[in-house]
Chains A and B, each alone.
Chain A
Amino acid sequence: MIALSYVWWLAALVLAAAAVFDLRARRWGNAAFWAIIAITFAAGDSILAADKAGNRLPTQLVGVAVVILALLAGLGLMRRSPAGETDATAREASAQRLGHRLFGPALMVPLVTTVLFLLAPYLAVGDWRLFPASNATVPALALGCCVAVVFALRVTRARPAQALRESSRLLDQLSWAVVLPMLLAALGGVFESTGVGAAVAGLIGQVIPTDSRLACTIAYGLGMIVFTMIMGNAFAAFPVMTGGIALPLLIRQHGGDPAVIGALGMLTGYCGTLLTPMAANFNIVPAVLLELKDSYGVIRMQAATAVLLATTNIALMYFLAFR
């Protein structure tokens, strides 16, 4: 069975390779950064197991490691690798030669992942399953990437080490931005445990006129947007805002349709996701991946769509929930 832990080890391998290449190139900051993450990935499952068993030292060490990662990134100790524009002519020639064959491996990642995901329930013999029953997407993605690498190596006739050299180059280009989504998710967990959500819902509940349907609908919509922007995630905002505003006021007091309010409330939160740097994997990582000079460039392009759609959503909620 392809367990989740193998996938983490595979990711650790890619990260460790980046650490080795950076060590050779004497980019110490980068090397330390990738080495720390590689270790966290490889040892992750045993760290969580130790924490469950009551030994908190490993998780505290990870906490210290996270602080070190933040300092490495924040104090400018990481260097972006120089963009390899020198081989532009070689790339052009290879593009001419290989043509459409280059699309094959690129499309293989999503296609193989999807096919494996759909076939997951059937890839089993007796009690043995290729993928764990609960979470087939992640192992399917890992296997899809492996298949695609093999095909890419055949198409480009490159040596296997070249694949890790290229991934290390991309990692140094992405730099700390690639870790930001993990860190933001962790911050969400910290906020949850320190009672930030409850405090926000409490504050909003105090300021809206509760006997107006429209005011409550608008407050819920705006609350979802604002709280999603703070947390970077509509999933984190939904229980807080729905429990604080929608459930007691819109549904119990004004008799709104819960299915409409739930669905449109969540989608209004998504409009907030389009607007916030806290949703780093959707808004900041793409900006870095696409080598944009403005790290808020993607958000700027999304802003008008998000505002228009949020307005539409709140109007839809008002008219559909109280049919």
Chain B
Amino acid sequence: MNYWPLLGVAAVVAGFALRLNPMLVVVAAGFVSGFASGLSLPDQLALLGKAFVSTRAPLLIVLTLPVIGLLEHAGLREHAQRWIAGLYYMSLSLLLICYMALRQILGALGLTSIGGPAQTVRPLIAPMSEAAARKTAPDLDDGQRERTRALAAATDNVGLFFGEDIFIAFGAVLLIQTFYSANGIQLEPLAIALWAIPTAIAAFVIHALRIVVFQYGLKRGTTRPRT
């Protein structure tokens, strides 16, 4: 077996560790593993170009930008903040735990596009979280503000990742089924999806506890920098 292409992986790890620009790191790593496996430069350019054009879907986030931009220009974030600040019972943990539950349940029903960093977190959940955090810690400092916003994005990811796998028509479940049937093991998608439920519950409990701990840390004014 040719182990030299692994140099590409080493290039990625080294590049990210040195905090070089990720765009440069990724392209360089592609060329490293390409040369290590003995491909010619024209072949590599064609490979890279074809792979790039074939994966346009992640950039569809740009379609949401005109709406988000217009609404932000009209004060959406300011309004979301004031609204949450006015709800006396709304705390950071209640807000984020409810959002995570909603995201997991909708994800399990296959409705994953309902949320996301551009669709819901930036315009709604992040400013709301900030307003809710200000109720616990009225003089939120810059670091706490950063971590509160990061927690909102993290909660969106956790809710999405550990909800969507319960949905039987989701790509991951179908990928698992296809992989097994190619190897002579026949499984129903439902049989696979069911085993995602224990993890979904564990993810909810673990992350909810962490949100509560985070809010408690805000209250005591001693949020540890790395949690």
How far, in Å, is A251 (CB) from chain B's closest CB?
A: 8
On whether the beta carbons of B162 and A198 are closer than 8 Å, the reply is no
- Most chain-B Cβ atoms within 10 A of its Cβ — which of A47, A165, A266, A312? A266
On whether the beta carbons of B8 and A290 are closer than 8 Å, the reply is no
Contacts of A234 in B (CB 8 A): 172
Stretch from B87-95, B133-141, B203-211 that touches the partner: B203-211
How far, in Å, is B181 (CB) from chain A's closest CB?
A: 11
On whether the beta carbons of B75 and A92 are closer than 8 Å, the reply is yes
On whether the beta carbons of A167 and B62 are closer than 8 Å, the reply is yes
Complex Cα gap A302–B151 (Å)? 8
On whether the beta carbons of A305 and B47 are closer than 8 Å, the reply is no
On whether the beta carbons of B65 and A305 are closer than 8 Å, the reply is no
The secondary-structure label for the interface of chain A is helix
Please tell me which one of the listed residues B33, B113, B191 contacts residue A117 in the complex, with CB atoms under 8 A apart: B113
- Interface flag for A132 (CB, 8 Å): no
Contacts of B221 in A (CB 8 A): none
Residues B118-132 near A (CB distance < 8 A): 118-124, 126
On whether the beta carbons of A301 and B147 are closer than 8 Å, the reply is yes
Stretch from A24-32, A183-191, A214-222 that touches the partner: A183-191
Please tell me which one of the listed residues B53, B54, B117, B151 contacts residue A301 in the complex, with CB atoms under 8 A apart: B151
Complex Cα gap A258–B68 (Å)? 44
On whether the beta carbons of B50 and A95 are closer than 8 Å, the reply is no
Contacts of B126 in A (CB 8 A): 290
Are A59 and B71 CB-contacts (below 8 A) given A11-B62, A196-B33, A274-B158? no
Contacts of B124 in A (CB 8 A): 103, 106
On whether the beta carbons of A44 and B56 are closer than 8 Å, the reply is yes
Are A102 and B74 CB-contacts (below 8 A) given A152-B67, A163-B66, A190-B51? yes
On whether the beta carbons of B52 and A40 are closer than 8 Å, the reply is yes
Q: Mark A76-105, 1 if CB is under 8 A from B, else 0.
A: 000000000001000111111011101101
Complex Cα gap A94–B24 (Å)? 42
Complex Cα gap A30–B54 (Å)? 23
In the complex, the chain A residue whose C-beta lies closest to that of B75 is: A95
Contacts of A35 in B (CB 8 A): none
Are A182 and B56 CB-contacts (below 8 A) given A105-B71, A114-B111, A230-B12? yes
Q: How many residues of A sit at the interface, in one of the four size bands?
A: 35 or more
- Interface flag for A178 (CB, 8 Å): yes
Residues A237-282 near B (CB distance < 8 A): 238-239, 242-243, 247, 251, 258-260, 262-264, 266-267, 270, 273-274, 277-278, 280-282
Please tell me which one of the listed residues A183, A230, A283, A286 contacts residue B121 in the complex, with CB atoms under 8 A apart: A286
On whether the beta carbons of B63 and A145 are closer than 8 Å, the reply is yes
Are A189 and B51 CB-contacts (below 8 A) given A142-B63, A259-B195, A266-B165? yes
- Interface flag for B55 (CB, 8 Å): yes
Contacts of A148 in B (CB 8 A): 67
Are A297 and B70 CB-contacts (below 8 A) given A110-B114, A180-B22, A316-B198? no
Residues B171-227 near A (CB distance < 8 A): 171-173, 175-176, 179-180, 183, 185, 187, 191-196, 198-199, 202-203, 206-207, 210, 226-227
Q: Mark B69-81, 1 if CB is under 8 A from A, else 0.
A: 1111111101110
Contacts A247-B183, A292-B150 known; list 15 others, CB within 8 Å. Answer: A40-B53, A67-B48, A70-B24, A98-B79, A109-B119, A156-B74, A166-B65, A180-B23, A182-B52, A199-B1, A267-B196, A267-B199, A274-B157, A290-B117, A301-B154
Q: Which 4 A-B pairs have the closest CB atoms?
A: A166-B69, A95-B75, A63-B45, A62-B49
